[in-house]
A and B are shown apart, each in its own frame.
Chain A
Amino acid sequence: ETGVTQTPRHLVMGMTNKKSLKCEQHLGHNAMYWYKQSAKKPLELMFVYSLEERVENNSVPSRFSPECPNSSHLFLHLHTLQPEDSALYLCASSQDWLADYNEQFFGPGTRLTVL
């Protein structure tokens, strides 16, 4: 595997379910990100982890719970979601969160549908 991978690619869940999204980066980067991409809206940054420490939390509801066990893996735990949470969830990584250049490499995303 190369680059940034995400599993599952598609997920359908009910509002009472608990599920997790997984992201893995094979680039040796130190920073990882979760974004939400909804139709007709700009990408919304949700969380940023740098060296496994959360450095950014953009007022995301507590029904979304991130976890970064090591610099290569990032999870997004989901529970009691709402239909408006249906979106494409993108994971990204970059070499260094604080670097001026800070190019981000994106995974293919998980298409989440909440019924």
Chain B
Amino acid sequence: AQSVTQLDSQVPVFEEAPVELRCNYSSSVSVYLFWYVQYPNQGLQLLLKYLSGSTLVKGINGFEAEFNKSQTSFHLRKPSVHISDTAEYFCAVRGPSSASKIIFGSGTRLSIRP
């Protein structure tokens, strides 16, 4: 079975500063990894995904994430954040089996200070 841990429940940063949201997963098999974003009063939207290949994945809105198999991590980064990035971010993992469910982390609330 897979599990995912988001170590930070809240991350406050200043506008135009860089940010990293941490995600660690646990699995005995290869996995697919996702980051979703939830803006206020909206559903979740896919930011980026890692299925295979290059370990550096680029997503929408200038976000990127790096898959690190040895550290079982998939941290999300952005070099310069904007007020509009204020949202909750969810890391998710899915096993390779066709019947695997997507398991979501508990989320990290990113708040941007002007």
Within 8 Å CB of A41, what residues of B? 106
Binary per-residue interface labels of chain B (73-114) against chain A in the complex, 1 for a CB within 8 Å, 0 otherwise: 000000000000000001000101011011111110000000
Known A107-B43, A108-B41; contact A42-B107, beta-carbon cutoff 8 A: yes
Q: What is the size, in residues, of chain B's interface with A at 8 Å between Cβ atoms? A: 24
Complex CA–CA separation, A91 to B51 (angstroms): 24
Known A4-B43, A103-B49, A108-B41; contact A40-B99, beta-carbon cutoff 8 A: no
Within 8 Å CB of A43, what residues of B? 44, 90, 104
Within 8 A of B (CB), among A20-59: 40-43, 45, 48, 56
Taking the complex as formed, is B42 at the interface, i.e. its CB lies under 8 A from any CB of chain A? yes
Known A43-B90, A100-B51, A100-B96; contact A106-B101, beta-carbon cutoff 8 A: no
Q: Are B106 and A42 in contact (CB under 8 A)?
A: yes
Taking the complex as formed, is B14 at the interface, i.e. its CB lies under 8 A from any CB of chain A? no
Interface residue from B34, B43, B98 paired with A108 (Cβ < 8 Å): B43
| Chain B interface (Cβ < 8 Å from any Cβ of A) | 9, 32, 34, 36, 41-46, 49, 51, 90, 94, 96, 98-99, 101-107
| Chain A interface (Cβ < 8 Å from any Cβ of B) | 4, 6, 40-43, 45, 48, 56, 90-92, 98-109
Q: A4-B43, A42-B107 are in contact. List 12 more A-B contacts (CB 8 A).
A: A41-B106, A42-B103, A45-B102, A48-B101, A91-B43, A99-B98, A100-B51, A100-B96, A101-B32, A102-B94, A103-B34, A106-B36
By Cβ-Cβ distance, the 9 closest A-B pairs, closest first, are A106-B43, A43-B104, A98-B98, A106-B44, A42-B106, A42-B104, A108-B43, A107-B43, A108-B42
